Amino acid sequence: MRIVSLIILLSLALVGCRTLNPAPETVTVTVPETSVQYTLLFAYQDGDGDWAELTSSNGAYQFEVTNGAGRYGVALVCFHTDDGYSPYLEPIVLHATTSEFSTLTLPCIDALYENPDQVEGTILTGTVINVDPAAFPTVNLNAGGIGHGASALSNYEFNLGYLYEGVFDVVASIQNDNYKITRLAIEHDVKVENGLGDATVDWGDSRDVQTFDLTIRGVAAGDDVNVDNHLTTRNGTWASFTFTKTKAAGSERRTTYAAAP
């Protein structure tokens, strides 16, 4: 029996509709040092123009955006071969405007899992504010990659321990009875230094997850079809949205998946 696994990796940015200065603006994209070894290709798009490949200078890529609305796209293709798995390509595509990002860091997602070892005594504390306890009696918190700093709380004050020093994104979420995230809020760029960190997550900024239709073609009746998709934030915090195991009834499998708003 064949097993068909599908991993959906999403990199999303909100694109605003604004009238910007039409003068060219320089965008700088930096690939972290830990991701450079995996970088196979980097390309950019000015507005709706053709994609053009770029070479880096010490991991930094620069290009001009001439589009009147400041719209551009970047594509980073990473190639992973180690850890005993089959080699695979990891394409990451982001569209944004210069008013949103003119300087950004774009890592290879798989490289984010290469976290330092957890350090006993390293603690990230904080509070989730503006929560309606009648609507959301329990909120889940996590920071860091898989297996780092997960906690559930009912008093909206959290204490995430056994992390490591660095910069984190704190994800606050609620889950349904099947442990699937249905709503979330994110606080970016929280620093943990000298064993301590503090963060405030505003639940007033939370959003419901979005659900999309998905059709998987080229399967056969009886095939096991696994769908796995998750969020990895820009600082490597991991949150799972969908993981299902089903059997195909015919030559295609129709289902849905959830994603961050």
Task: Please give the CATH topology (third level) of the domain spanning 123-208.
Answer: Immunoglobulin-like (2.60.40)
Task: Please give the CATH topology (third level) of the domain spanning 10-113.
Answer: Immunoglobulin-like (2.60.40)
Q: What is the residue type of 240?
A: S
- The span from the CA of 101 to the CA of 15, in Å, is 10
Unique residue bearing structure tokens 């994110």 = 186
- Give bridge partners of residue 72 from the DSSP assignment: 46, 96
* Sequence spans of domains, the chain: 10-113, 123-208, 210-259
Torsion of CA 208, 238, 78, 107, to 10 degrees: 90
Q: Residue 96: its pLDDT value, please?
A: 92
Q: Confirm whether pTM is higher than 0.85.
A: no
Inter-residue contact 252 to 223 (CB < 8 Å) = no
**Other beta carbons within 10 Å of 258:** 20
- The span from the CA of 30 to the CA of 217, in Å, is 36
Q: Residue 42: its pLDDT value, please?
A: 96
Considering only CA atoms, which of 215, 218, 226, 214 is closest in space to residue 3?
226
Inter-residue contact 130 to 160 (CB < 8 Å) = no
Q: Residue 16: its pLDDT value, please?
A: 45
Q: Residue 12: its pLDDT value, please?
A: 41
Inter-residue contact 203 to 127 (CB < 8 Å) = no
Q: Residue 26: its pLDDT value, please?
A: 95
Mode of pairing for the β-strands spanning 60-65 and 25-30? antiparallel
Q: Residue 65: its pLDDT value, please?
A: 97
- The span from the CA of 34 to the CA of 236, in Å, is 12
Q: Residue 84: its pLDDT value, please?
A: 58
Q: What is the residue type of 72?
A: Y
Rg of the chain taking only CA atoms, in angstroms: 20
- Give bridge partners of residue 214 from the DSSP assignment: 255
Q: Residue 151: its pLDDT value, please?
A: 65
Considering only CA atoms, which of 173, 133, 177, 185 is closest in space to residue 155?
133
Considering only CA atoms, which of 145, 151, 133 is closest in space to residue 234?
145
- The span from the CA of 216 to the CA of 249, in Å, is 12
- 79 membership: H or E segment, kind and range: strand 71-80
Q: Residue 113: its pLDDT value, please?
A: 65
- The span from the CA of 99 to the CA of 15, in Å, is 9
pLDDT in tens, 90-107: 888 899 999 998 998 888
pLDDT in tens, 41-85: 999 999 999 999 999 887 899 999 999 999 999 999 998 876 556
Q: Residue 116: its pLDDT value, please?
A: 61
| Average pLDDT of adjacent 10-residue blocks, the chain of 261 residues | 47 45 85 87 95 89 95 92 70 91 86 64 87 87 69 77 83 84 92 90 94 88 84 82 84 86 79
Residues counted in the chain: 261
Same fold, 10-113 and 123-208: yes
Q: Residue 198: its pLDDT value, please?
A: 92
Q: Residue 61: its pLDDT value, please?
A: 95
